[in-house]
Amino acid sequence: MSAVFGRIDYREPGAERADLGAMAVRLAHRAGIEEASSPQKVKDAMDSAVFSRGALGALRSLSDAETPHAAVEPGSAALVLSGSFFSQADDARPEGPAFGGRAPASALFSALYPLREDKRGAARVLRRVSGHFAGAFYDEASGELLLFRDVLGAEPLYWAATQRGIAFASEIRALLALREVRERTRVNLRAVDQLMTWPGPVAPDTFFTGIEAVPAGFMLVFNPKNFQAGSGPERVVFDDFDYPLLKDRRPFGANDDPRPWIEELERLFTRAVGRRLQGNPAFLSSGGIDSALVNTVAKALGANDMHTFSIGFADRAMDERPWQRSVTEAVGSVHHERVVDTKDVYARLPDVVRLGEAPLKESYNGCALMLAEMVRAEGFTSVLSGEGSDELFAGYAGYLLNSEPPEEEAEDPLEQAEEARMRRRLWGDPTFFYEREYAAHERIRRDLYSPDVAERFERFSATARPPVNLAMLRGRHRLNQRTYLDAKLRVADHELTDHGDRVLMSQGITGRYPFLDKDVLEFSARIPPELLIYDEREKYPVRAMGAKYVPKAILNRRKFSFVAAGTPDLLKLRLDWVEELLSRENIRRAGYFDADAVENLKKLYLRPGFRINQTYEEDFLMIVLSFHLWLRIFEMPDFS
């Protein structure tokens, strides 16, 4: 549990120090401290470094008082760090910090300090760190500030330019504690359109103008020169998912043996689980193969007194309790279970919008928050889960589409040509399919915005430019292209952010993700794409590995997406706050969406028997509802 924050002032030295305490209070929950607690508790949990031009701070859990998250060379330089680190003596990484028995902040500071003028050297050091981390390194002599975030974006980090310099923090709420940042921010329409198009906003965009996310795998370099010039930071990629080129791969043939690949994956995954068993963590049990494999491998490694947690649904169509229980029985855990209905899930929607600092497109973050509360109520401060497996090992239904050569689509020639142009712009390939038909989807988005917003559509459209670096797609296998897109668009700024970090850290809980271990990540990129979907099964390497550990009932299940109730169910509850937020008057007053279009959606959603398949279809009304809830919670202005 940890958080970082600070201000570097390039114009009025010392003016920023008074703000550090206000930022720390906004982040107190990340150290397991209630925000209403006494300032002394926050002060006791804070490591800080003060210089003539700035101040940096880090919060650590009071139960982790012996592990500082800051390292300082007085008057010279400082590092503040958040996250979890897994470098071990038995797998020292070339050019990476040798942690040994040292605190990660101290080890990383020692590695970076000699490289203050060598950005490429600093990038090499960061690339070799094994862990989920974010941090800031400041050099007083040059005034240079480095902000960095791991390749998965598991630890959040945001920044904003102020009139005097740069401010940064683990959560946006800490930046909003600064009056000048709060008064200048407006709604970022590009992030809104990204939410309607991709799984969530795409870094560096956030929903707040003037506040940016540090992209996963990036190091941002700030200094007095680029601040004065207004050019923004230098952006250095220090880590990315670099899949082999097709020309460098040997195809996996029918006579090739998959067992060596499965055995190596098992070795690395088992070590990844073992690294995350320190401190008696809790375990999530979703009913799927990924969490089942985490739990059963942990048991095989000797985990004792295991506690598992799950959510069940009163609606049997969504309920996975029979499969959850088969896993908990297999590992002999103390199981904690809560059964919820539509009203329970939607009662938490204001909480998850506030915690996530963002509107949403699904309601299941409410379930994630309830799970986090259950884990905390039992006294745990960390939890293991199966996030990342579907994205790394081709677990979604869309991977089956991407595994086959593209077929000619039977549609209007003009529409087909428009879609091909869109795909070429987004992916560099007119035949590559990801998620949906984007030309038709763009027309829906335009119609949903108010006329005033739609007039500006070309300025903020999510599909006006590629959302990722196309060089990382070019020349790769289609399955690897799809995996790369999911890692960048789904994992970093959605699954591990609003769905993971925010709800867990609201309860002072650290998420631990064995499938996202750096060694597992790097190995997954080398697995032959033909082996990812093999023997007519998606995610074959994980299933083959799981045969040794997981109950057969789980092993043979087809993929079942974790979903919660959609907006059609919510509208039927006739809740006053929902009806007021979606009223024609409120939609028209806010001015972002078209009131008639929203009314038509409401009528459609209320038709008898109407349902949304959340795996394949967008719940546009959820986006509209949660967006207006976000406007109200964060007191954002109407469109003008």
204: preceding bond cis by omega (within 30 degrees): yes
Residues in the chain: 640
Give the whole-angstrom CA distance, residue 514 versus residue 290.
10
Rounded to the nearest 5°, which phi and psi values hold at 445? -65, -45
Q: HEC profile for 306-353? A: CEEEEEEECCCCCCCHHHHHHHHHHHCCEEEEEEECHHHHHHCHHHHH
- Containing H/E element for 144? strand 144-149
Q: DSSP assignment of 41-53, as one string?
A: HHHHTEEEEEETT
State how beta strands 2-9 and 54-60 pair.
antiparallel
Annotated binding site for ATP: 284, 311, 385-386
Which are the contacts of 477, defined by CB distance < 8 A and separation ≥ 6? 243, 246, 249, 529
Is 92 within 8 Å of 98 (Cβ atoms)? yes
Tell me the helices (H) and strands (E) count for the chain, helix number first: 31, 17
- Containing H/E element for 18? helix 17-26
Is 541 within 8 Å of 261 (Cβ atoms)? yes
Rounded to a whole number, what is the largest CA-CA distance in the chain? 69
Give the whole-angstrom CA distance, residue 571 versus residue 466.
35
Rounded to the nearest 5°, which phi and psi values hold at 482? -65, -45
Helices 595-605 and 620-633, interaxial angle, to 10°? 120
| Residue entry with tokens 């210089």 | 51
Q: Would you state the structure tokens that stand for residue 212, as one six-digit string?
A: 């940016």
Give the whole-angstrom CA distance, residue 158 versus residue 276.
27
- Containing H/E element for 149? strand 144-149
Radius of gyration of the chain measured on its C-alpha atoms: 24
Q: Could you tell me if residue 14 is left (phi over 0), alpha (psi between -120 and 50 degrees) or otherwise beta?
A: left
Measuring CA to CA, which residue among 242, 339, 327 is closest to residue 283? 327
Annotated binding site: 284, 311, 385-386
Strand order across the beta sheet in which 131-139 lies = 70-73, 77-85, 131-139, 144-149, 218-222, 234-237
Q: DSSP assignment of 380-392, as one string?
A: -SEEE--TTHHHH
